[in-house]
């Protein structure tokens, strides 16, 4: 179902509001497409779906306008959804539905948006693509993570070879190169440090540089990506080197918004450890 078809559906639902069925908790629903399936959504299921939400006539959220029109994956819980969970519990993969509930019930115990008023209806228009249990989701995540480790290591080994680096590897999969020794002092993960750095992708794309700002930064090593928490203590104070960081020790799937960094990108940092700030 396209976004435009779904937009039309929202209009037709308003016209046919009186034909919607109702659950005891006040949730109104209409199953637009009932696909064959027995695996319904349970409390805690991870669900891949497209969803549009609105309060009265005000649009709130539209997954079709996000991430190149790809479905979102969300864990659905009764604690988060309240009475809407009863509606999702009727759906399986391939189903489409409209779920509607009075705002006073939908936000019971929560904060009603300032533009809304008592008596307004909250509407969810959903299309379900897949349903996974918590166990299935975690196993899939572990398998994908293990596969990504091998992919990242191959990328980093190719980078090391192409750039003729003499890199060492830690048990976590981090590679590092010591380019200049310092005074022999090493930071710990509990320290605050001052550094100059440049960050690039493996293709050379620069995404950040304190050198460009002509301003080093200081930060606690406990508050940065794992690759820095582990890698910067490998340098000596006053020394410099290169950190080659696999995605699991960088941002993984959670790439910074608006950055050239994408999901599962490995990162290359040139780092100069200027000072250890106890």
Residues recognised as catalytic:
197, 207-208, 225, 251, 269
Give all domains of the chain, ordered by start, each with its CATH number.
Answer: 3-135 (3.10.50.40), 148-277 (3.10.50.40)
Taking the model in full, what pTM does it have? 0.63
Would you state the pLDDT for residue 3? 30
pLDDT greater than 90 at residue 256? no
Give yes or no for residue 96 having a pLDDT over 90: yes
Instruction: Assign 3-class secondary structure to the chain.
Output: CCHHHHHHHHHHHHHCHHHCEECCCCCEEEEEECCCCCCCCCCCCEEEEEEEEEECCEEEEEHHHCHHHCCEEEECCHHHHCCHHHHHCCCCCCCEEEEEEEHHHHCCCCCCCCCCCCCCEEEEEEEEEEEECHHHHHHHHHHHHHHHHHHHHHHHHHHHHHCCCCCEECCCCCEEEEEECCCCCECCCCCEEEEEEEEECCCCCEEEEHHHHCCCEEEEHHHCCHHHHHHHHHCECCCEEEEEECHHHCCCCCCCCCCCCCCCCCEEEEEEEEEEEC
Q: What is the pLDDT of residues 111-125, one digit of tens each?
A: 667 777 777 899 999
How does pLDDT run across 209-224, given as a tens digit for each residue? 999 999 999 999 999 9
How confident is residue 110, by pLDDT bands cut at 50, 70 and 90? low
Percent of the chain with pLDDT over 90: 72
**Whole-number pLDDT of residue 174:** 98
pLDDT (tens digit per residue) in 7-34: 333 333 443 555 799 999 889 999 999 9
Q: What is the structure's pLDDT at 2?
A: 31
């Amino acid at each position: 179902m396209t976004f435009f078809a779904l937009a039309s559906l929202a209009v037709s639902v308003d016209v046919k509001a009186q034909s919607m069925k109702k659950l005891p908790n006040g949730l109104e629903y209409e199953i637009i497409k009932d696909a064959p399936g027995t695996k319904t959504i349970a409390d805690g299921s991870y669900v891949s779906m497209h969803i549009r939400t609105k309060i009265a006539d005000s649009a709130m959220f539209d997954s079709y306008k996000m991430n190149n029109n790809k479905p979102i994956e969300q864990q659905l819980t009764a604690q988060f959804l309240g009475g809407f969970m009863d509606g999702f519990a009727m759906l399986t993969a391939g189903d489409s539905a409209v779920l509607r509930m009075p705002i006073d019930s939908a936000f019971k115990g929560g904060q009603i948006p300032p533009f809304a008023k008592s008596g307004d209806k909250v509407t969810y228009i959903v299309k379900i693509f897949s349903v996974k249990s918590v166990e299935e989701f975690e196993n899939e995540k572990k398998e994908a993570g293990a596969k990504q480790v091998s992919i990242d290591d191959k990328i980093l080994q190719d980078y090391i070879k192409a750039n003729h680096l003499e890199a060492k590897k830690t048990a976590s999969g981090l590679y590092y190169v010591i380019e200049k020794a310092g005074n022999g002092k090493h930071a710990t993960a509990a320290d605050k440090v001052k550094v100059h750095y440049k960050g690039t992708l493996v293709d050379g794309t620069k995404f950040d540089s304190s050198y460009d700002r002509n301003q080093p930064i200081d930060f606690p090593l406990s508050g940065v990506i794992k690759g820095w928490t582990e890698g910067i203590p490998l340098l000596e104070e006053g020394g410099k080197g290169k950190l080659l960081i696999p995605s699991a020790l960088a941002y993984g799937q959670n790439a910074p918004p608006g950055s050239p960094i994408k999901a599962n990108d490995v990162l290359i940092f040139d780092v100069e450890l200027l000072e250890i700030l106890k």
